[in-house]
Each structure stands twice: as structure tokens, then as C-alpha cells.
């Protein structure tokens, strides 16, 4: 083998190794993002710090200590676009770790201390699903609620994988959901709860036939009282890209609304 041939051979081997390393890295990354769960010792939330950005220093959710909150009168009120439109909720789908409602174009928020308009892509729910501490993700001065709803908005109409690269790329509105008896209920959440049986396993989807608006789910919740902080996605890879708005007052529902969710997952 001539000197030139030897060098070519070395270069070819180097390129092969680089390629194999790249494949290996990709494989490790894919294993990592699927290696999380809520309920098993080996992959429960306490172990997530090894995944993506989950070990970072602006992680969500938080226990919001109300006595330590600083009032910011410059935040102002939100403008909600498309929240009253009953034709924009497309489908309800079981994603395995949550139940998500996909939204059509035309739902957005601005104001509320946001620098620009954010467009909604979907909303989903957290109800603990048998974790060691079932219920809402955020807490208020230690108090955990039975459920929590997250309406996910992105900047510049980007998809989630693009917007998560921006430290303020995602704006999530979080609403606690609480059970109350003997009140007049203004939320239409029971309409979604009644559909849960039809999406009882991961991957199942039911179209929503233009019957529900986001406003009808939120009911009479006061949308002028909220907590604001910069945090992260609450599932791996926990990207630190979220402007969180956690509303102080919960959506109130009768106990019958909560029951179908407990049976999920
Ligand atoms: Zn969420």
C-alpha cells in the first residue's frame, strides 16, 4: 500500500468512526427522551435530571409561595383571541402521558406582560394519574389541586420543537381545576370528560364537532389574577423555554367531572 493509499484508508476509517459515533449519539438521545415515566422507580420524575435540560435551574412546575410573590402592576390584562370560537377545537387524543385537545389556527393571546402575540397549538391536562403525589403540577403555598389544565402557545406560530429553542418561545396558561359542591358551575369541562372513555388507550382520537370553545371550559375564572415566572416544559426534555402564567383561582367543577380522569392511563 502506498503512502497516499494509507492516508486515504485512514481518512475513510476516521469518517466511518465519526459516522458511527453520530448514529450512536442519535440512538442515545432517542432512548433518553423515551426513558421517563410517572409511576415506576427507575424512570419517575426524581430521575429526570439525567434527561435533556431537566437538571437545569429554571425548572417547572413550582410550588408558588404566595407570601413571597412580588406584585408587578405593569403586567396588565390579557387579550384572548379565538377563545370564544367553538369551531377551533379539533380533536381530543390520548398521548399516553396526557390527554390533549388539538386546536386549529386562530387562537392566540397577547398582553399580560407578553412582548408579542403567542398562538395556541393545543391544551392538555394533568391529574396525577397515580403518581406518588396525584393532582396538579403547580402548587399554591403547598396546596395541590385535583387537576391542572395547560394551554400551550408558541411565539411566531412556530411548532413546539422550534419554539422550545427560544428562552421565551412558549407561553403556557395554567388553570387549576378544583371540585366544589353546591355551586352553580360555569365550566363545560364535563363535555370533555364524557368523551374520555372513547380515548381510553394511547393513540386514540375523537374529533370534536364544533361544540366547545375554550371560554366555555374556563367558565367564570378570574383571568386578571395570575402568577408569572420563567420556567420550563414539565416533561423531558424539560426545555427552559416557557413563560408561565398560573391563574390564582381554580376552575370549579362538580365531583362527577373528575371521576372519568381517575380511570385514565
Ligand atoms: Zn402540561
Q: 262 and 75 in contact (C-beta within 8 Å)?
A: no
Ligand 1 centroid, distance to 10 Cα (angstroms): 50
Distance 243 CA to ligand 1 centre (A): 13
Q: Cα(153) to centroid of ligand 1, in Å?
A: 12
Catalytic one of 97, 124, 126, 138: 97
Q: How far is the CA of 98 from the centre of ligand 1 (A)?
A: 8
Ligand 1 is an ion; residues with CB less than 5 A from it: 150
Structural contact between residues 152 and 172, judged by C-beta atoms closer than 8 angstroms: yes
pLDDT (0 to 100) of residue 44: 87
pLDDT digits (tens, 9 = 90+) for 177-220: 998 876 677 888 988 988 988 998 899 999 998 789 999 999 99
Domain ranges within the chain, ordered by starting residue: 1-34, 40-262
Q: How many beta carbons lie within 10 A of that of residue 209, not counting itself?
A: 11
Distance 126 CA to ligand 1 centre (A): 6
- Residues 6+ away with beta carbon under 8 Å from 11: none
What pLDDT, on a 0 to 100 scale, did the predictor assign at position 129?
61
Length of the chain: 265
150 is catalytic: no
If you measure from the C-alpha of residue 147 to the centroid of ligand 1, how many angstroms do you get, rounded to a whole number? 11
Q: How far is the CA of 201 from the centre of ligand 1 (A)?
A: 19
Query: Ligand 1 mean position to 254 CA, how many Å?
Result: 22
DSSP class of residue 209 equals -
The C-alpha cell that represents 189 in the structure block: 369541562
Q: Quote the CA–CA distance of 212 and 195 in Å, as a whole number.
A: 12
| CATH number assigned to the domain covering 40-262 | 3.10.200.10
User: What is the 8-class DSSP label of residue 173?
Assistant: E
Low-confidence ranges of the chain (pLDDT < 70): 1, 22-34, 129-133, 182-183, 263-265
Instruction: Specify the DSSP element, H or E, that contains 3.
Output: helix 3-34
Amino acid at each position: 500500500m502506498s503512502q497516499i493509499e494509507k492516508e486515504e484508508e485512514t481518512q475513510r476509517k476516521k469518517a466511518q468512526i465519526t459516522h458511527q459515533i453520530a448514529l450512536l449519539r442519535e440512538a442515545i438521545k432517542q432512548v433518553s427522551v423515551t426513558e421517563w415515566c410517572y409511576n415506576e422507580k427507575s424512570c419517575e420524575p426524581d430521575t429526570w435530571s439525567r434527561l435533556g435540560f431537566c437538571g437545569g435551574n429554571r425548572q417547572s412546575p413550582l410550588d408558588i409561595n404566595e407570601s413571597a410573590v412580588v406584585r408587578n402592576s405593569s403586567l396588565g390584562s390579557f387579550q384572548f383571541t379565538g377563545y370564544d370560537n367553538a369551531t377551533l377545537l379539533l380533536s381530543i387524543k390520548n398521548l399516553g402521558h396526557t390527554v390533549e385537545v388539538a386546536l386549529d389556527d386562530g387562537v392566540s393571546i397577547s398582553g399580560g406582560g407578553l412582548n408579542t402575540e403567542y398562538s395556541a397549538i393545543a391544551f392538555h391536562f394533568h391529574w396525577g394519574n397515580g403518581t406518588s403525589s396525584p393532582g396538579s403540577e403547580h402548587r399554591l403555598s403547598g396546596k395541590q389541586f385535583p387537576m391542572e389544565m395547560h394551554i400551550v402557545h408558541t411565539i411566531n406560530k412556530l411548532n413546539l420543537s422550534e419554539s422550545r429553542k427560544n428562552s421565551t418561545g412558549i407561553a403556557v396558561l395554567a388553570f387549576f381545576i378544583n371540585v366544589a359542591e353546591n355551586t352553580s358551575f360555569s365550566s363545560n369541562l364535563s363535555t370533555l370528560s364524557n368523551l374520555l372513555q372513547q380515548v381510553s388507550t394511547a393513540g386514540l382520537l375523537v374529533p370534536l364537532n364544533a361544540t366547545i370553545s375554550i371560554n366555555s371550559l374556563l367558565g367564570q375564572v378570574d383571568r386578571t389574577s395570575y402568577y408569572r415566572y420563567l420556567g420550563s416544559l414539565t416533561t423531558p426534555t424539560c426545555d427552559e423555554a416557557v413563560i408561565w402564567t398560573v391563574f390564582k383561582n381554580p376552575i370549579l367543577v362538580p365531583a362527577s367531572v373528575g371521576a372519568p380522569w381517575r380511570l385514565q392511563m
